[in-house]
């Protein structure tokens, strides 16, 4: 069997997994979700979801990934097959763990490139003429995205240039492999991200009262807007589902990337302490830093009612409209804006390289393709797949990709792996495997949580979603009539990609069986 790469250090793999988990959502999605779902009371279902969903899934993925890596498999089809050898169909369920990351990668890289562009614009005062109001900043963003022709941009050329640069940076990192590429990136990008995050947090929390006529507008009231609890919201099921969704997004569980990262661990390398550390690192960035930047800054400059409207306008507006506008109002604003976009870009690239890893690992492990060739194939295919997300941005393509790749597949994949791990592989064997070389022991009640609570919660989420929205999503009832053709086109492409991946899995297994019969492996 081909010798696979290994991580260079324990800290390296922890930072890489934390880097995969820490993304734009930590700074943009979490504060908006909290503000809209009960303020401080949101933290109760959030912690419950962390304990009953996030941490169990994190432990399962680290353990299953390291187990599968022992058999030369770095992706879900092979890992699932290693865990249930008698079932010849289980490998096809694992296709979700390659498909999902590819789908997220093809739109996430484009959004990441906006951050690089805006970091450049902040230093060159490119958007200075658009900072008079929120509307002009929105217009600037729409021009950059090519949605409307306006005085700021004549077309998509600038956005495309930054996309190519960002895409190339991602490909370069994965080209250098696990140890020299991804681990090296994580070991300098994550500490830098922490430093930038802490500096910006301190700056925002020390803004004080910027308009003496309105003393209520200050960062402490901004924290209050986010943390003052509305416990009546806890009776609302939607709040609990939003918390569960946020924990999923934030920890990168249910995607397949942690499986792949963990497959490069050594046989007796700890997974329990490493998994917990990466999860807690992510939580620190989200709950401590992420919650202390955008909302307190928005309340300080726009008041509680303004911040409410901004929060409702979504994460993109917070990042690309509100924050640059705020930074123009403080001394050295260009430097602060650059630091903000650099922070988000680092959060983005450490996540996007992880999304590229499963597909590349699949080609290397199952087809014995060299790293260089696997990266080239992945780069060429995904570059083509990115184009609809760029050119049809305003026509529902990204929302569609985000729904199937970044939402539905996450819950589906997590449900498959937790059932496989605790019921088919067996909780006793799984528990022993988890503690092989472990630096700390998992409390025993987690056996019960992993076997009963986590699968029940996941199946409930899937069931509730299907009952409430499933049919209307499938029938495109929630899609604007003018976007239905592009959404249908996107769905056909997605279905085709999934089918191609299934065929590749079938081909890989036939090839492996043939080689086994010939005594070549």
Partner 1 sequence: MRPAGWALLIASWGIIIGALAFCFYKIFSKKSDGQGEENNGNEN
Residue 2 interacts with partner 1 (CB under 8 A)? yes
Stretch that binds partner 1, among 19-27, 35-43, 237-245, 322-330 (CB under 8 A): 35-43
Residue 371 interacts with partner 1 (CB under 8 A)? no
Stretch that binds partner 1, among 264-272, 326-334, 338-346, 441-449 (CB under 8 A): 264-272
Residue 246 interacts with partner 1 (CB under 8 A)? no
Residues 6+ apart with CB under 8 A from 86: none
User: How many residues form the binding site for partner 1 (CB under 8 A)?
Assistant: 47
Rounded CA gap, 69 and 72, in Å? Answer: 5
Rounded CA gap, 515 and 251, in Å? Answer: 38
Neighbouring C-beta atoms of residue 507, cutoff 10 Å: 12
Half-sphere exposure of 113 (CA within 13 A, CB side): 26
Question: Of 329, 439, 447, 488, which one interacts with partner 1 (CB under 8 A)?
Answer: 439
Residue 489 interacts with partner 1 (CB under 8 A)? no
Residue 239 interacts with partner 1 (CB under 8 A)? no
- Write down the least CB distance from residue 39 to partner 1, Å: 7
- Write down the least CB distance from residue 431 to partner 1, Å: 18
Place of tokens 């700890």: 270
Tokens standing for residue 262: 């963990």
Q: Binders of partner 1 among 41-60, rule CB under 8 A?
A: 41, 43, 47
Residue 270 interacts with partner 1 (CB under 8 A)? yes
- Write down the least CB distance from residue 287 to partner 1, Å: 6
Question: Of 3, 86, 467, 520, which one interacts with partner 1 (CB under 8 A)?
Answer: 3
Query: By three-state DSSP, how is residue 1 classified?
Result: coil
Rounded CA gap, 245 and 178, in Å? Answer: 29
Neighbouring C-beta atoms of residue 248, cutoff 10 Å: 23
Residue 211 is classified by DSSP as -
Question: Of 96, 276, 375, 415, which one interacts with partner 1 (CB under 8 A)?
Answer: 276
Tokens standing for residue 296: 């307190």
Residue 287 interacts with partner 1 (CB under 8 A)? yes
Handedness of CA 23, 247, 410, 416 (dihedral sign): positive
Q: Binders of partner 1 among 288-327, rule CB under 8 A?
A: 288
Q: Binders of partner 1 among 186-225, rule CB under 8 A?
A: 220-221, 223-224
Judged by beta carbon, residue 270 or residue 400, the one nearer partner 1 is 270
- Write down the least CB distance from residue 67 to partner 1, Å: 9
Which of 126, 115, 123, 125 shows the shortest CA–CA distance to 162?
115
Rounded CA gap, 25 and 20, in Å? Answer: 12
Helix (H) or strand (E) holding 147: none
Our measurement of the distance from residue 256's CA atom to the centroid of its chain's CA atoms, rounded to an integer in Å, reads 11
Query: By three-state DSSP, how is residue 345 classified?
Result: helix
Judged by beta carbon, residue 46 or residue 336, the one nearer partner 1 is 46
- Write down the least CB distance from residue 417 to partner 1, Å: 19
Residues that bind partner 1 (CB under 8 A): 1-4, 6, 9-11, 14, 39-41, 43, 47, 66, 69-72, 220-221, 223-224, 227-229, 263-270, 273, 276-277, 280-281, 283-284, 287-288, 437, 439-440, 521
């Amino acid at each position: 069997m081909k010798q696979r790469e290994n991580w260079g250090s324990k800290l390296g793999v922890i930072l890489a997994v934390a880097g995969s988990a820490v993304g734009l959502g930590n700074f943009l999605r979490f504060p908006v979700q909290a503000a809209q779902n009960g303020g401080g009371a949101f933290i109760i279902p959030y912690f419950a979801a962390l304990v009953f969903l996030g941490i169990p899934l994190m432990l399962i993925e680290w353990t299953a990934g390291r187990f599968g890596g022992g058999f030369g498999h770095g992706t879900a089809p092979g890992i699932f097959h290693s865990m249930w050898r008698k079932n010849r169909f289980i490998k096809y369920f694992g296709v979700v763990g390659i498909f999902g990351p590819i789908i997220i990668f093809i739109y996430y890289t484009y959004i990441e490139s906006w951050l690089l562009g805006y970091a450049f614009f902040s230093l060159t005062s490119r958007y200075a003429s658009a900072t008079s109001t929120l509307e002009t900043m929105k217009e600037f963003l729409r021009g950059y995205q090519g949605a409307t022709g306006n005085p700021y941009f004549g077309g998509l050329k600038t956005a495309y240039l930054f996309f190519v640069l960002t895409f190339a940076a991602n490909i370069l990192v994965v080209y250098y492999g696990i140890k020299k590429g991804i681990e090296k990136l994580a070991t300098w990008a994550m500490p830098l991200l922490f430093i930038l995050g802490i500096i910006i947090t301190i700056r925002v929390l020390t803004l004080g009262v910027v308009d003496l006529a309105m003393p209520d507008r200050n960062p402490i009231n901004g924290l209050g807007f986010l943390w003052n609890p509305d416990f009546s919201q806890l009776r609302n099921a939607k709040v609990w589902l939003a918390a569960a969704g946020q924990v999923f997004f934030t920890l990168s569980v249910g995607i397949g990337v942690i499986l792949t990262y963990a497959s490069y661990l050594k046989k007796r390398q700890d997974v329990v302490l490493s998994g917990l550390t990466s999860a807690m690192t992510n939580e620190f960035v989200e709950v401590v830093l992420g919650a202390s930047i955008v909302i307190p800054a928005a309340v300080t400059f726009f008041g509680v009612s303004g911040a409410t409207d901004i929060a409702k306008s979504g994460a993109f507006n917070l990042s690309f409209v509100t924050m640059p506008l705020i930074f123009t109002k403080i001394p050295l604003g260009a430097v602060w804006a650059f630091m903000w976009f650099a922070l988000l870009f680092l959060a983005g690239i450490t996540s996007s390289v992880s999304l590229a890893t499963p597909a590349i690992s699949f080609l290397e492990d199952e087809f014995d393709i060299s790293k260089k060739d696997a990266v080239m194939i992945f780069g060429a295919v995904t570059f083509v797949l990115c184009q609809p997300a760029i050119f049809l941005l305003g026509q529902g393509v990204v929302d569609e990709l985000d729904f199937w790749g970044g939402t539905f597949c996450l819950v589906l994949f997590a449900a498959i792996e937790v059932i496989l791990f605790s019921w088919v592989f067996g909780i006793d064997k799984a528990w022993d495997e988890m503690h092989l070389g472990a630096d700390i022991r998992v409390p025993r009640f987690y056996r019960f949580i992993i076997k009963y609570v986590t699968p029940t919660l996941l199946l409930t989420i899937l069931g509730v979603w299907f009952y409430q929205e499933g049919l209307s999503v499938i029938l495109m009832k929630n899609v604007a009539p003018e976007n239905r053709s592009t959404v249908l086109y996107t769905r056909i492409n997605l279905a085709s990609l999934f089918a191609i991946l299934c065929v590749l899995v079938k081909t890989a297994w036939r090839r492996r069986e043939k080689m086994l019969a010939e005594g070549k492996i």
